[in-house]
Amino acid sequence: MMPEGVRLRPASNADGEAVRSLIGDVLREFGLVCDTCGIDADLLDLERAYHQGGGRFDVLETCAPAIVGTVGLVPIREGVCELRKMYLRPAWRGRGLGRRLLVHAIQQARELGFRRMELETAAVLTDAIRLYESFGFVPISSGHMASRCDLAYALDLQPPGDG
């Protein structure tokens, strides 16, 4: 359940500019670069990259309306999705919204039939790493690490009650 005044909804290409702005701002905050010619090219067509590809991309929106958070899932191989682009604007951190975005992503991944979730991240994103680890994500080796990422994690997704 989201707090009053914010809601999670599927993103559309109409949200693209606001999404790219949010992600670019957050990455710059940590000394990282948004690369829409490379790893972030998926942000140029959210509908094709996520929704039409069997995944999803959701935005956390205030009643203003303003997009203050993002989270995406994309299939990477049979039964496995990648958690991508989970970011929150600084003013919205520390309210449990990152945890809620991650719970939402895990629930959506299960509903879409994925059995495993993987992610790549940068070591400078220490709060995010603590959150992932608190949910049971474990470090893995990744043969295709994105240029700004130096860590990879995975979580086996068991349906509730199966483990």
* Sequence-ordered list of residues with C-beta below 8 angstroms from that of 67, at least 6 positions apart, any chain: 15, 18, 19, 22, 59, 60, 61
Whether residue 51 contacts residue 10, with contact meaning beta carbons closer than 8 Å, is answered with yes
Q: What is the pLDDT, as a whole number, of residue 160?
A: 56
Q: Which CATH number fits domain 6-156: 3.40.1440.10, 3.40.630.30, 3.40.50.2300, 3.40.50.720?
A: 3.40.630.30
Mean pLDDT across 23-40: 94
What digits encode the pLDDT tens for the residues 69-78?
A: 999 999 999 9
Mean pLDDT across 54-72: 95
What digits encode the pLDDT tens for the residues 84-138?
A: 999 999 999 999 999 999 999 999 999 999 999 999 999 999 999 999 999 999 9
